[in-house]
Chains A and B, each alone.
With several copies, the nearest count.
Chain A
Amino acid sequence: MIHSTLGVIIAVFFLISIISLLWWMLHVPPIIPQVAARAHREVEALKNLLIPTQGMAYSERGVELACRLGMEQNATLIFAYVIEVPRTLPLNAEMGNEDKVAQEAISHAEQLAALHKMKNKSLIVRSRSAGEEIVKLAREQEADVIVMGIRQHIGLKENILGRTSDIVLRKAPCEVIIDKLPGEEET
């Protein structure tokens, strides 16, 4: 003889909550092996990502890559646009619309960072050699990794990477990630 519907509801609620608590308790997540843990945590430790950008589609690919890499640990993205000034000109020479191009490249990168809701700061610097400057910036900004999107240099047989990335790869004080798009189409 059931006395009240409220009693039935409480009884059912009691059973459901006890059973679901025990069910949850017994379903322990699987063990994380040491190798997996190490690779995962070391990437997690990358807090400062330096991303040299040129404002081209391939640079933005690098920015997106950096966003994915840094999202989980809420890393800081440092965007850098290096204006290469030829040695024939003084370092602070007027360079046509280079400043405007730099601004635009940086703003595109910032939009991507905003899409992923990531902390970021931007630098526009002038230098004789982009490669050397990037290495210097990595040291100054205490970057944990440099992420670069690069272009296919068609016909460049002896060095597939181009001058800048070659210097960065050789001299960088930190990890370097190079993202090379295939050469066929450039949007």
Chain B
Amino acid sequence: MVSDNTSTPPSPELPHELRRDITVWGSYMWGYADVGADIYAALGLVIAAAQGAASLAFAAAGIVYIMIGFAYTELAATYPVAGGGHYFALRGLGDFWGFTTGVALLLDYTIDIALFAVASAGYVNFFLPYFGIEPSHFVFMLGSLKINYLWLSESFAFILFLIWLNIIGIKESSLFNELIGAFDISIESSVIVFGFLFAWKPEYLIQQWQTSFPTLHQFMYGSSLGIISFVGLESISQAAQETKRPATIIPRTSVTLIFTVFIFATAFSTLSLGVLPWQTFAQHIGDPIATLAHAIPYIGLFAGPITALLGATILLISANSGVMSASRLTYSMSEFGLITKWFDKVSPKYRTPVRTIVVFSVIGIVEMLLSFLTPQAMDTLGNMYAFGATLGYLIVFVALIRLRFSDPYTPRPYKMPLNLKIHYKDRIVDFPVLGILGFLGVGMVLFEVILTHKIGRIAGPAWVVLGIVYYIYFRKKNNMPVTKSIERNWEAHQMDVLISAEEFDLAEEYRIALKERDEKLKKHEQIKTDR
């Protein structure tokens, strides 16, 4: 590589920036960590709802998901900074929408931490009896409520571990993901390959398709649940500012993630229905992969420990993804003056945003405690999860379309396919047809979530409204505009971003595009003054 002699020195005016330490595999794994656990959770639910047509439901959800994926790929490659959806909305739609998207996504990441740390600890408990510890003994009563304090402390310990891991460095935290993720992918692939080779009966699949085809309502419900298994692409964007050469690498990791997850989801559902009746999965909603693995020859023998290990690890890195993403999201929001400046601080020693890591992980711990104290809390969190993600994605689609018009000069190394060339203010703009379709698709899912999730439709909006109340108070207090945006020099900012990302080719493209625009403007003004 010839890059070494041309790498930029660290800018002196920003001494404590995030460090670019994430490689291609790391970037991919931040996304996979998030998504991998989601499939784990969603497979049973979708099969229970969509029955014989589960594969079709996954494929249908996959289409909406692929559009979301393309949108994120375009935006993350164009704006390779931390912040993800919140940053895109900020650039495209201004401060208020940037904040709204951020607060919706923040909901998801804190839930990630709470839910998946608890679930991971649950799988760990599988192994304790082998060491002579019976987890069900460690219970005390709180009023009428049985609380397993072993499980609670395990979950608590996990989150503390993740906080420590994320503080000491993105490299360490990423490495943790990379190793465990590689292991999990291999195990999941083995289950699929062994399943198709030794247990899969196509006639069985066809029979279930023919005898247990769902009603349209069941099918739509199933495919809206399928979307859950696809949430998680965001994390790749959250890590963008710490990724090496993000504008080159992020499109690759995103596209790969989109398709691997799509392939895994359809393969798992097709395999499941060719091995066991859908009713079996409906009875074991909580642990579909273990149910499936038990029915496959050879690996069926190890199914118990393997799937428990798989579950424990994949859910742990998913919680890790939540810690990282929540901290980078709030770091970015603070940097752009959407929340208090106190969070905009990078540890000089570890080059990580220690304050946001700690604060928002603690919010995750609070959510976790709630889920142990009130049995409905788990359900509530799950419902809010779907609400936060779909609201965030919806705004991102609007931002994508808007940015095509308002910021045509920033080079887009990757563009969503299917564009219409339209004239707009003397320029030709690529209007993203798939952006509109994606907006409608996500909109439908959001509509369905509000319609069917009884708790989510109250609690989700309540969180967002609470956030907005804080936003108004914060902006008023600091004499900043509430409905309008702060003036920012996006062009200089964008150029800095590209240079610091070592994307020199894009930086040159941007420089020349801006120069051409300026020359055009100058000429226009000259014609005006000449009159």
Answer yes or no: A and B touching, Cβ < 8 Å.
yes
**Contact partner, A18, options B189, B270, B502, Cβ 8 Å:** B189
- Beta-carbon contact of A41 and B24 below 8 Å: no
- Beta-carbon contact of B504 and A28 below 8 Å: no
Q: Which of B199-207, B414-422, B431-439 forms part of the interface with chain A?
A: B199-207
Determine if B478 is an interface residue (Cβ-Cβ < 8 Å). Answer: no
- Beta-carbon contact of B504 and A25 below 8 Å: no
Q: How far is the CA of A40 from the CA of B196 in the complex (A)?
A: 50
Closest to A114 in B: B2
Q: How far is the CA of A40 from the CA of B506 in the complex (A)?
A: 11
- Beta-carbon contact of A28 and B245 below 8 Å: yes
Size bin of chain B's contact surface: 35 or more
Determine if A31 is an interface residue (Cβ-Cβ < 8 Å). Answer: yes
- Beta-carbon contact of B2 and A28 below 8 Å: no
**Contact partner, B256, options A2, A21, A31, A38, Cβ 8 Å:** A21
Q: Looking at the assembled complex, report how far the CB atom of A41 sits from the nearest CB atom of chain B, in whole angstroms.
A: 4
- Beta-carbon contact of B198 and A107 below 8 Å: no
Q: B198, B267, B504, B509 — which one has the most chain A CB atoms within 10 A of its CB?
A: B504
Q: Looking at the assembled complex, report how far the CB atom of A31 sits from the nearest CB atom of chain B, in whole angstroms.
A: 4
**Contact partner, A11, options B197, B263, B502, Cβ 8 Å:** B197
Q: How far is the CA of A30 from the CA of B504 in the complex (A)?
A: 12
- Beta-carbon contact of B252 and A28 below 8 Å: yes
Closest to B274 in A: A7
- Beta-carbon contact of B263 and A30 below 8 Å: no
B497-531 CB mask vs A (1 if < 8 Å, else 0) is 00000101101110110001000000000000000
- Beta-carbon contact of B248 and A29 below 8 Å: yes
A69-94 CB mask vs B (1 if < 8 Å, else 0) is 00000000000000000000000000
Q: How far is the CA of A21 from the CA of B260 in the complex (A)?
A: 8
Q: How far is the CA of A145 from the CA of B516 in the complex (A)?
A: 15
Q: Number of residue pairs across A and B with beta carbons under 8 Å?
A: 109
Given contacts A18-B189, A32-B505, are A2 and B197 in contact (CB under 8 A)?
yes
**Contact partner, A14, options B198, B245, B267, B511, Cβ 8 Å:** B267
Determine if A64 is an interface residue (Cβ-Cβ < 8 Å). Answer: no
Determine if B25 is an interface residue (Cβ-Cβ < 8 Å). Answer: yes
Determine if A42 is an interface residue (Cβ-Cβ < 8 Å). Answer: yes
Q: Looking at the assembled complex, report how far the CB atom of B104 sits from the nearest CB atom of chain A, in whole angstroms.
A: 29
A1-28 CB mask vs B (1 if < 8 Å, else 0) is 1111011101100110110011011101
Q: How far is the CA of A107 from the CA of B5 in the complex (A)?
A: 10
- Beta-carbon contact of A37 and B508 below 8 Å: yes
- Beta-carbon contact of A33 and B3 below 8 Å: yes
Hey, which chain A residues are within 8 Å of B504, CB to CB?
31-34, 36-38
Determine if A111 is an interface residue (Cβ-Cβ < 8 Å). Answer: yes
B251-265 CB mask vs A (1 if < 8 Å, else 0) is 011011001100100
Q: List which B453-477 residues lie within 8 A (CB) of chain A.
A: none
**Contact partner, A1, options B198, B256, B259, Cβ 8 Å:** B198
- Beta-carbon contact of B193 and A14 below 8 Å: yes
**Contact partner, A15, options B2, B189, B507, B512, Cβ 8 Å:** B189
- Beta-carbon contact of B249 and A3 below 8 Å: no
- Beta-carbon contact of B24 and A26 below 8 Å: yes
Determine if B374 is an interface residue (Cβ-Cβ < 8 Å). Answer: no
- Beta-carbon contact of A33 and B2 below 8 Å: yes
- Beta-carbon contact of A4 and B200 below 8 Å: yes
Determine if B216 is an interface residue (Cβ-Cβ < 8 Å). Answer: no
Given contacts A4-B201, A7-B197, A45-B516, are A14 and B1 in contact (CB under 8 A)?
no
Hey, which chain A residues are within 8 Å of B24, CB to CB?
25-26, 28
Q: How far is the CA of A36 from the CA of B503 in the complex (A)?
A: 12
Determine if A179 is an interface residue (Cβ-Cβ < 8 Å). Answer: no
- Beta-carbon contact of A28 and B256 below 8 Å: no
Determine if B297 is an interface residue (Cβ-Cβ < 8 Å). Answer: yes
Determine if B11 is an interface residue (Cβ-Cβ < 8 Å). Answer: no
Q: How far is the CA of A110 from the CA of B1 in the complex (A)?
A: 12
Q: How far is the CA of A33 from the CA of B24 in the complex (A)?
A: 19
Given contacts A8-B196, A14-B193, A14-B267, are A25 and B297 in contact (CB under 8 A)?
no
- Beta-carbon contact of B192 and A7 below 8 Å: no
Determine if B6 is an interface residue (Cβ-Cβ < 8 Å). Answer: yes
Q: How far is the CA of A14 from the CA of B270 in the complex (A)?
A: 12
- Beta-carbon contact of A30 and B1 below 8 Å: yes
Closest to A11 in B: B196
Q: How far is the CA of A36 from the CA of B6 in the complex (A)?
A: 11
Determine if B158 is an interface residue (Cβ-Cβ < 8 Å). Answer: no
Given contacts A11-B193, A31-B502, A33-B6, are A24 and B201 in contact (CB under 8 A)?
no
Hey, which chain B residues are within 8 Å of A29, CB to CB?
248
Q: List which B228-269 residues lie within 8 A (CB) of chain A.
A: 245, 248-249, 252-253, 255-256, 259-260, 263, 267
Closest to B197 in A: A11
**Contact partner, A42, options B249, B255, B274, B512, Cβ 8 Å:** B512
Determine if A154 is an interface residue (Cβ-Cβ < 8 Å). Answer: no
- Beta-carbon contact of A7 and B6 below 8 Å: no
Closest to B189 in A: A18
Q: How far is the CA of A21 from the CA of B262 in the complex (A)?
A: 12
Q: List which B357-398 residues lie within 8 A (CB) of chain A.
A: none
B1-41 CB mask vs A (1 if < 8 Å, else 0) is 11101100000000000000000110010000000000000
Hey, which chain B residues are within 8 Å of A45, CB to CB?
512, 516
Hey, which chain A residues are within 8 Å of B200, CB to CB?
3-4, 7, 10
The 7 closest A-B pairs by CB, nearest first: A41-B508, A11-B196, A34-B504, A37-B505, A25-B256, A37-B504, A31-B3
Using CB atoms and an 8 Å cutoff, list the residues of chain B in contact with chain A: 1-3, 5-6, 24-25, 28, 189, 192-193, 196-202, 245, 248-249, 252-253, 255-256, 259-260, 263, 267, 270, 274, 297, 502, 504-505, 507-509, 511-512, 516
- Known pairs A7-B201, A14-B193, A31-B3; list 9 more (Cβ under 8 Å): A1-B297, A10-B270, A14-B263, A22-B256, A26-B25, A28-B248, A31-B245, A41-B512, A45-B516
Please list 30 pairs of residues, one from A and one from B, whose beta carbons are closer than 8 Å in the complex, sorted by A's number: A2-B197, A2-B198, A4-B201, A7-B197, A7-B201, A7-B274, A10-B200, A10-B270, A14-B192, A17-B263, A18-B260, A25-B256, A26-B24, A28-B245, A28-B248, A29-B248, A30-B1, A31-B2, A32-B504, A33-B2, A33-B6, A33-B504, A34-B504, A36-B504, A37-B505, A38-B508, A40-B505, A40-B508, A45-B512, A110-B2
